[in-house]
Amino acid sequence: MKGRAGGERGKTMRQLVLCEEEVAGAEGSDRAEVIPLHEEAEEPRQARGMRRAGWLLVACGLALLPWLYVLATGLQATATAAHWPVAWAGLDALEALGLIATGLLAARGDRHHALAAAATATLLVVDAWFDTTTAAPGGDFATAVAMALGAELPLAALCGRLALRTLSRPA
């Protein structure tokens, strides 16, 4: 009954009382008739659409599997990127925005922080992955691993925990 107006709730309760009084006051009645409070409705259209979208996503994921083989066997071991600093600065900027948005929404008690937390956790894991896999051997690689283990992955775990904890609780 959560979210209903008091008047609507009262109306429903009065209808139940009237039904019980009518059944109790009926002459020659040996048994009460059970009247369902609500009819079984057809499955909402949105649920069917959600299921279809889910199967479409599964099909797309499966279609990507052969592409992974093509990438793994066909790409060059090294590459030059024209906008390398912009790519990394952009990723880190998105992470900063995600952390700020998640923090502000969580501090306000807004349940939407779960969405920002999930997106931010994903960005942080991607950053850790690309930092470590693109780092040059030696000091660069050690720094990338230290950043991944000391900052990016723990923050991703915190964001993931916030998202899962919030989404597993009823509204």
How far apart CA 125 and CA 72 sit, in angstroms, is: 20
Residues 6 or more apart whose CB falls under 8 angstroms from that of 91 comprise 123, 126, 127, 130
Identify which of 122, 128, 123 has the alpha carbon closest to the alpha carbon of residue 146.
Answer: 128
Average pLDDT in the 97-103 region? 97
Residues 6 or more apart whose CB falls under 8 angstroms from that of 19 comprise 35
**pLDDT number for residue 170:** 80
**pLDDT number for residue 21:** 56
Residues 6 or more apart whose CB falls under 8 angstroms from that of 88 comprise none
pTM here is 0.69
Confidence of residue 78 (pLDDT cuts 50, 70, 90): confident
Q: Are 123 and 93 in contact (CB under 8 A)?
A: no
Length of the chain: 171
